[in-house]
Amino acid sequence: MAPSGKQAVSGGWDTTIHLWDVPTGEEVRRFRGHGSAVMSLAFSRDGRRVLSGSDDHTVRLWEVKTGKELARFTGHANAVTTVALSQDGRFALSGGIDNTVRLWRLPG
């Protein structure tokens, strides 16, 4: 759920991320790019970006307003099952089935 409480994201086996308008239940946008199931999602503190982790071993940063992929991080040897963003929006953390936790510096 976005910090505003007005938007939510979901992902799954269809490889897309769905952005939902919570009050209406309407789908607002789809984010496309992952090659496999989306396993984990996190909103930035300001609600302008979403971080995703996938079965395709990548972590991706998305712009909520446009659905544009802002950054892609590779390094996990297996599925990424959890992601988080730092409160200041400068870093991302990911963990995966490969038993690693990785810290990523995010673009400005």
Residue 101 domain-assigned?
A: yes
Q: Total domain count for the chain?
A: 1
What's the CATH number where 67 sits? 2.40.128
Residue 95 domain-assigned?
A: yes
Rounded Cα distance between 64 and 45, Å, is: 12
| pLDDT tens sequence across 34-90 | 999 999 999 999 999 999 999 999 999 999 999 999 999 999 999 999 999 999 999
Q: Do residues 73 and 67 touch, judged by C-beta distance below 8 A?
A: no
Residue 83 domain-assigned?
A: yes
Residue 17 domain-assigned?
A: yes
Domain residue limits at 84: 7-105
| pLDDT tens sequence across 53-63 | 999 999 999 99
Q: Is 82 helix (H, G, I), strand (E, B) or coil?
A: strand
Residue 22 domain-assigned?
A: yes
Residue 1 domain-assigned?
A: no
Rounded Cα distance between 47 and 5, Å, is: 10
The two tokens of residue 83 are 């992601």
